Chains A and B, each alone.
Chain A
Amino acid sequence: MPSLLEMRGIVRSFGALRANDGVDLDVQSGQILGLLGENGSGKSTLMKVLFGMLPPDSGTIVFRGHELSHHHPAEAMAAGIAMIHQHFMLIDAMTVVENVMLCWPQAGRVLKTADMAARVREASRRFGLDLDPDALVASLPLGRRQRVEILKAILREAELLILDEPTSNLAPTEIADLLTILRRLRAEGKGIIFISHKLPEVLELCDEVVVLRDGRVSGRAPVAGASRAQLAHMMVGRDLVRSHVPPHHALGAVRLSVKDLAAAGFGPLTLDVRGGEILGVAGVDGNGQIEFVEALAGLRPVGAGTIVIDRCDVAHASVAARMRAGMAYIPADRSATALVRRMSVAENLMLRDSNHSPYAKGPLLVRGPAVAKALELMAEYDIRASGPGTVVMRLSGGNQQKIVVARELDRAPAVLVAHQAAWGLDPGATRFVLDRMIALRAAGAAVVYVSSELEEVLEISDRIAVIANGRFAGETPRAEVDLRQIGIWMAGRAA
């Protein structure tokens, strides 16, 4: 029997980066294929190529015996491919049946709402979707909204469903319901591509998994018989990167002590970081990292627990008070939080320090010393801009991040919390950022380096903790790292 979908030798480059480098992918009718891979491994690109959102540089796609090339999403849908995005494409202010009818010729020029509602009810019963056609989408919980998307796919007679991280926003019971629905679809002979970071779900649901790494298929295995450890290795597996941290030196006293910290999205988390130590927090994105670091930095309210910097509890202190206590923070969101893109290099260098010298005298800003300070920092941190007045959005990502690093490190902080500090930077700039973290460690600060790039974490940490589902799944000194174990922790199961 021919495959439902055959993708052969898909290549797609973005500049010098080969996001897909000769990927083959097969899906059969009545099969659920798990597509795994870290961030940036090429999963999304591959799916966009399949769905016609990006043209491939080379390679062929054959779906139900017909070749798809130069197609648009509309043609992919007409051919029977449905994509269910992580963020649903629904109109909240409309009812379920209205959303189903949207952009669907069969709904008729004069909308046949009653007919459509009956079909919605029928399909909803058959697949156990439990959807009321007249319910307003805005009133539905996220799990139900997702079912509306699935329902749209079913009614449009899609033969292949692509689900991109379908469980990331769902509660556990909703996840269980979703898996049941997907099994029913499989029983009806549909093919499904299930993209996920979460190994337990994949093992529970899928028939076969394909693992992408660096744009290539790094592993392909039937789920029956595969162990979690094997899958984790396929996903994370790589040669152990060399540590770039100078060998162990004397650790100072505990400078950051977090105890039972909890808020929406994570916790309780407990950790101690000593002066001269870098704690790397690894983990797949979306496991509570952003909530955790923002709670540390004071940008989110803390539910419970303490954050002690050099014996001073700042759990409920303002952002400014935390800075005074010695906390520096490099947010992951460079374009809107860490920097003001439309303001100058000089103004961004003083963003969090505008209330004291050399930038201010009383309520007034002093420009001469501020410009002098900016020039000094630009030289020290090698920020390449035509002058301190250059608007930041004209700079490269690397130079932008150097501004953030310069500002946060110049304060000689006791504690630095860095989140995805090397995200999107070229190798040279990444090196620069990591070296600065190491220099800060040598100066006796405590550093918490949170990143979903395991490689970076391995490179600079003295100790590595893995966060999964908002809690630490495990922790290990750098010297004793076992990648298999880290993979299992990342997959959401404590050892």
Chain B
Amino acid sequence: MSNPASSLPAPASEQIRKPPRYNSFRLQLRDNLAWRILAAVVLSMLCAAALIALSGHNPLTAFAAMAVGAVGSPHQIGAALNRTTPYLLAGSGVAMCFRAGIINIGAEGQIAVGGIGATAVALIWPSALPELAIAASLLAAAATGAVWAGIATAIHLGRRVHEVLATLLLNFIALLLVKQMLVRPLGQFGAGFLQSPQLPAATRLWRIPEVDAHFGIVITVIIAAGLSFVLWRTRFGFALRVAGNSRPAAAYAGFSLPRLTWSVMLLAGAVAGLAGGIEVLGVHRRLIEGFSLGFGFKAVTVALLGALEPMAVIPASLFVGLLEAGSLSMQRQIGVPSALVVVIEGLTMLFVLAATVRRV
């Protein structure tokens, strides 16, 4: 980050007395928050180690197997990165909402409908225009995700239903909608499973050589960085942070709370929808029932683990991605059930919440 002192007209002595720093704006990373979150992660790993020991395995061997499974080969790194992508996208969108004081737990449904949007456009896209197929599909995914978040927002603002309820319940409808779509318009006839036909080759996401990850991870990191920029460097982000800290102060500052709610919800819905689109285009290559299972809910964990800072959601989602990718190999190698990861994730969530509780 550049040094703002150069742009200051104040005399040198003044600057020595009151050193202005860019980072002085970033109060949310005060009080050793990063260390406390790290401590929470370590604590949850220790608890997991104890559980492994209780089940009669050596925790060190188990963790080693997990690490090898996650980063042991380029291919495994690629799998972990693919796993990270939806968490990072949905998590940074959720973080923006939470920053604005809007508890959006609808990422799950927004991912699901994003998958529908991407699949529908990919399947009907004219084969004469293959170079635009990916862009069109991903745009459709973002748009459907935004629409789904928009429905929740309309219910929340229009009928004063609490946003937790509106976003949460729409998740279940979205999951059923995926199923319905696979039965009728998008389903593959006679497949035996609820799934769509394979998507046309033109929609295949470019893959990063060597590691074999799709380039969704690249888009995702760029978007997370962009959201961080919006949060800290734009008027809109400032308004979001004010509203999240104090609604009366936001009204006093002249910010329109409904407009802020609409904007941040549509934004979060769009990135979650995009996550669904990337998952379909990059991983499954078709719409499958339950393809989004848990990503949206765990996005909330990831957002909190990243202290609601989109840039910090990058390592947070990487942590979860590596953990999940490594757990399967741990199960194969030494027989510790991969469900242990769910335990670790749950414990991490609890410890992080305890470590970051806001003191009044």
Contact = CB atoms under 8 A, between A and B. Distances in A.
Interface stretch (A188-196, A237-245, A308-316, A366-374): A366-374
A364 B233 contact: yes
A368 B7 contact: yes
A307 B86 CA distance: 52
Contact of B25 (A342, A347, A364): A347
A374 B256 CA distance: 25
Given A355-B235, A364-B235, A372-B8, A340 B24 contact: no
Interface string B233-266: 1111111011001101101111010000000000
A343 B245 contact: yes
Nearest to B28: A342
Given A337-B249, A389-B25, A343 B242 contact: yes
Contacts of A365: 232-235, 237-238
Interface in A24-46: none
A384 B237 CA distance: 27
Given A342-B245, A387-B19, A323 B24 contact: no
Given A336-B246, A372-B8, A363 B236 contact: yes
B10 interface: yes
Contact of A375 (B18, B23, B232): B18
Interface in A346-398: 346-347, 350-352, 354-355, 360, 363-365, 367-369, 371-372, 374-375, 378, 386-391
Contacts of A342: 27, 245
A302 to B, nearest CB: 15
A391 B254 contact: no
B30 interface: yes
B254 A323 contact: yes
A482 interface: no
Interface string B11-38: 0001000111111110100100000000
B185 interface: no
Contacts of A299: 248, 251-252
Interface string A190-232: 0000000000000000000000000000000000000000000
B4 A360 contact: no
B14 A340 contact: no
A323 B21 CA distance: 30
B24 A387 contact: yes
Interface residue tally on B, bucketed by range = 35 or more
A365 B9 CA distance: 18
Contacts of A331: 252
A420 to B, nearest CB: 15
Of listed A323, A343, A352, residue having the most chain B CB within 10 A: A343
Given A299-B251, A340-B245, A375 B20 contact: yes
A333 interface: yes
Contacts of B8: 368, 371-372, 375
B251 A319 contact: yes
A329 interface: yes
A341 B245 CA distance: 8
B234 A346 contact: no
Contact of B254 (A319, A363, A387): A319
Given A341-B245, A360-B235, A389-B21, A352 B253 contact: yes
Contacts of B246: 336-337, 340-341
Nearest to A391: B27
A333 B235 contact: no
A225 B252 CA distance: 49
Contacts of A320: 254
A297 B233 CA distance: 28
B18 A388 contact: yes
A320 B256 CA distance: 10
A153 B42 CA distance: 54
Interface in A125-184: none
B101 to A, nearest CB: 12
A389 B30 CA distance: 11
Contacts of A329: 252
Interface string A390-434: 110000000000000000000000000000000000000000000
A167 to B, nearest CB: 28
B251 A387 contact: no
A339 interface: yes
A423 B30 CA distance: 30
B27 A343 contact: yes
A344 interface: yes
Contacts of B238: 347, 350, 354, 365
Contact of A368 (B4, B14, B235): B4
B23 A389 contact: yes
Contacts of B248: 299, 333, 336-337
A106 interface: no
B252 A346 contact: no
Contacts of B251: 299, 319, 337
Contact of B24 (A336, A364, A389): A389
A387 B256 CA distance: 30
Contacts of A367: 4, 22, 25, 233
A350 B249 CA distance: 12
Nearest to A319: B254
A58 interface: no
Contacts of B6: 368
Contacts of A350: 238
A318 interface: yes
A299 B249 CA distance: 10
20 contacts: A318-B256, A333-B248, A336-B246, A337-B246, A338-B252, A342-B27, A344-B27, A351-B252, A351-B253, A354-B238, A365-B234, A365-B238, A367-B22, A367-B25, A368-B6, A372-B10, A374-B20, A375-B14, A388-B20, A390-B24
Query: Lowest 3 A-B CB distances belong to which pairs?
Result: A389-B24, A368-B7, A320-B254
Interface of B: 4, 6-10, 14, 18-25, 27, 30, 232-239, 241-242, 245-246, 248-249, 251-254, 256
Given A354-B253, A375-B20, A389-B23, 13 more contacts: A318-B254, A319-B252, A336-B248, A337-B248, A338-B252, A340-B245, A347-B25, A350-B238, A351-B252, A360-B235, A367-B22, A372-B20, A386-B18
Interface of A: 297, 299, 318-320, 323, 329, 331, 333, 336-344, 346-347, 350-352, 354-355, 360, 363-365, 367-369, 371-372, 374-375, 378, 386-391
